[in-house]
A and B are shown apart, each in its own frame.
Chain A
Amino acid sequence: LPRATAMFGPTFAGESVIRLDDVAADPRFGQSGPHFGMPEGHLPVVSYLAVPVKTPAGEVLGGLFFGHSEPGRFTAVSERLVVGVATQAAIALDNARLYARQRSVAETLQQSLLPERLPSVPGVVMAARYQAGGPDVEVGGDWYDVIPLPTGQLGIAMGDVVGRGERAAALMGQLRAGVRAYAADGKGPAQILAGLNALLHDNGAEQMATLVLGMFDPVTFELRFANAGHPPPVATLDGRTTLLDGTTGIPLGATAGATYREVTLSLPPGTTMVLYTDGLVEVPGESLDDGLARLVDIVAGATDIEDLCDRATSAVSDTRTDDAAILVLRVEPLGSRISLQLPAEPHALREVRATLRRWLGECGASETEAYELLVVGGELCSNAIRHAGGESRTFTLDASIDDDKVVTLRVQDQGSWRQPRVDEGGRGLAVINAFAGEVTIDRAAGGTTVVATRRLTGADSAVAS
């Protein structure tokens, strides 16, 4: 690149156009080392025309430089022509940069609204993909979310904001926050959709969005869901793969006072449920029914859910123009071992109990055995929460059962289990000792591990009777 010498300086600074009949005759020529003029091998330049490319705001983006080996070749007409080209170029470049910036803002916004990783829920495996619509397409409004709720349920959202770019991404953000807030407040899917519809209307934004919203209880396997104009979820139930349609209401923002119907169904272990956006089933030159049929086939034939996501997205990646998202949940038996890592906060106890209840039921524990082991687990985790230390302020609970039906609960934290006060931890220890066959406490430098075991007999054993 040329340096900002006396000759090039005015162009780079955007000060003026330079048009010379003979460049070597200009007093600014040949003033700078090391060459003092054109370096050896430079194309022969006699006539010279240099026009800065300047944005309307005055920012210099570059310059247009012309040279000719003969003198006096650039006229006032040439200058006007090149200045015209430079002006157009500057506007085009400026717009391109602005567009890239907007797109990157929209992209950043949208990516920040998609979950970085899906929550880990025992007995539920999940996979998701998002594919942008390609470099020549504006960022779309597809989004999804998986929300662990205080009730132990899992909130599941898959939505599509009509429109593109920053406005779509901003509305996505509002809807996502709205779903999370309403759900934390204990509202059900249909209520939340009605609430979001009202929000969209009150905003007067004249924007529409589709959204399918579910709440799944991993302990009872009950799914409640409602649908605001979104393509119907696909589910494999009892070996049959079907569309969960027939409940689809109108899109959010379409009309004031819209209400939504809620459907409840059971998703026992072995069930797969797939939520997606229209980009996955709407391909130019293909009917929607064909697109849906293709997705149903892929879901029916899938054994691995990551593989399912890959196959569903790659099936449309060549022909798709829209963005596309897919979220897959599969309910699985908990098996002989479960592991939970949880924040050392009192609200985590609810999730501990919900998961332990389901797992102990699958293990064949009697009602009394299940309750008493639930209390043992609750006491151990409460202690971990009270005394948790370390950077992460988390604790882990591992539960396992062996061939002799011996249940082992193992709770580990990074804190020190201080000697319990008589009125507080003393009672906890008394309860643990009464309900667990064997308890060991290992206080190490890095934390405390407590292990409690009890053999299941399936009888209403109970200690205190």
Chain B
Amino acid sequence: VTVLLQRHGSITVAHVNGDIDMANTASLLAAILAGIDVDDVALVLDLSAVRYLDSAGVQMLFELARHLDTGRRAFAIAIGDGSPARAVLKITQVEEVASVRASVDEAIDAVAGTTTRSPRGEKP
């Protein structure tokens, strides 16, 4: 599995390519987290080129969501509606922790509203 990182302003887009399974989730999570900039307000994870994803990968997505939530960052996933992995995300209710969209552009739009990062616990 490979990860390609791109920056869109204060959003990091991580394009993942290959198969995700229990053999590589730990290193994949570490690679994605290492790619997040300190000023980032959101992460978009592009799973369009993922050929295989099962519950081990979903487990990693929930862990990633926890990390992002701790840093008050938004989380969106781009995955084609026709992608077979899309069904896995649906069954495991990944939508509860991430905005799941059909393309990278739509995923960026979904998190673009988050312009500034407010420190955790700060009252408005």
List 7 contacting pairs A-B, 8 Å CB cutoff, sorted by A. Answer: A375-B88, A382-B54, A428-B54, A431-B58, A464-B87, A464-B91, A465-B87
Nearest first, the 3 A-B pairs at minimum CB distance are A346-B23, A371-B84, A428-B55
Identity of the chain B residue whose Cβ is nearest the Cβ of A382 in the assembled complex: B22
A48-56, A157-165, A188-196, A347-355: which lies at the interface: A347-355
Partner of B19 from the list A350, A385, A464 (CB cut-off 8 Å) is: A350
A294 to chain B, nearest CB (A): 46
The complex places the Cα of A430 from the Cα of B21 at a distance, in Å, of 17
The complex places the Cα of A435 from the Cα of B55 at a distance, in Å, of 13
Residues of B whose CB lies within 8 Å of any CB of A are 19, 21-23, 52-56, 58-59, 62, 84-88, 90-92
The complex places the Cα of A435 from the Cα of B58 at a distance, in Å, of 16
B59 close to A427 (CB less than 8 A): yes
| Seed contacts A346-B21, A353-B21, A430-B55; 4 additional CB < 8 Å A-B pairs | A372-B84, A372-B87, A378-B54, A431-B92
Q: Interface on chain A toward B: helix, strand, loop, or mixed SS?
A: helix
The complex places the Cα of A463 from the Cα of B92 at a distance, in Å, of 13
The complex places the Cα of A423 from the Cα of B91 at a distance, in Å, of 13
The complex places the Cα of A346 from the Cα of B56 at a distance, in Å, of 11
B55 close to A379 (CB less than 8 A): yes
B17 to chain A, nearest CB (A): 15
A382 close to B56 (CB less than 8 A): yes
A98 within 8 A of B: no
A255 within 8 A of B: no
Interface centre among A386, A427, A464, A465 (most CB of B within 10 A): A427
Identity of the chain B residue whose Cβ is nearest the Cβ of A433 in the assembled complex: B91
Q: Interface on chain B toward A: helix, strand, loop, or mixed SS?
A: helix
A346 close to B59 (CB less than 8 A): no
Chain B residues in 8 Å Cβ range of A367? 84
A349 close to B21 (CB less than 8 A): yes
Interface residues on A, range: 20 to 34
A416 to chain B, nearest CB (A): 19
Partner of B55 from the list A350, A371, A385, A427 (CB cut-off 8 Å) is: A427
The complex places the Cα of A367 from the Cα of B84 at a distance, in Å, of 8
Chain B residues in 8 Å Cβ range of A434? 87, 91
Q: In the complex where A379-B55, A427-B55 touch, is A464 in contact with B90 (Cβ < 8 A)? A: yes
Chain A residues in 8 Å Cβ range of B53? 375
The complex places the Cα of A378 from the Cα of B23 at a distance, in Å, of 11
A382 close to B87 (CB less than 8 A): no
The complex places the Cα of A347 from the Cα of B19 at a distance, in Å, of 12
A88 within 8 A of B: no
A431 close to B22 (CB less than 8 A): no
Partner of A423 from the list B54, B62, B85 (CB cut-off 8 Å) is: B62
Q: In the complex where A374-B52, A430-B91 touch, is A385 in contact with B84 (Cβ < 8 A)? A: no
B92 close to A346 (CB less than 8 A): no
The complex places the Cα of A431 from the Cα of B59 at a distance, in Å, of 12
Which chain A residues numbered 362 to 410 have a C-beta less than 8 Å away from chain B? 367-368, 371-372, 374-375, 378-379, 382, 385-386
Identity of the chain B residue whose Cβ is nearest the Cβ of A462 in the assembled complex: B87
A289 within 8 A of B: no
Which chain A residues numbered 428 to 465 have a C-beta less than 8 Å away from chain B? 428, 430-431, 434-435, 462-465
B23 close to A350 (CB less than 8 A): yes
Identity of the chain B residue whose Cβ is nearest the Cβ of A427 in the assembled complex: B55
A206 within 8 A of B: no
A424 within 8 A of B: yes
The complex places the Cα of A338 from the Cα of B14 at a distance, in Å, of 37
A67 to chain B, nearest CB (A): 79
Chain A residues in 8 Å Cβ range of B55? 379, 382, 424-425, 427-428, 430-431
The complex places the Cα of A382 from the Cα of B88 at a distance, in Å, of 16
B22 close to A346 (CB less than 8 A): yes
Chain B residues in 8 Å Cβ range of A375? 52-54, 84, 88
The complex places the Cα of A349 from the Cα of B56 at a distance, in Å, of 12
The complex places the Cα of A462 from the Cα of B84 at a distance, in Å, of 8
The complex places the Cα of A425 from the Cα of B86 at a distance, in Å, of 19
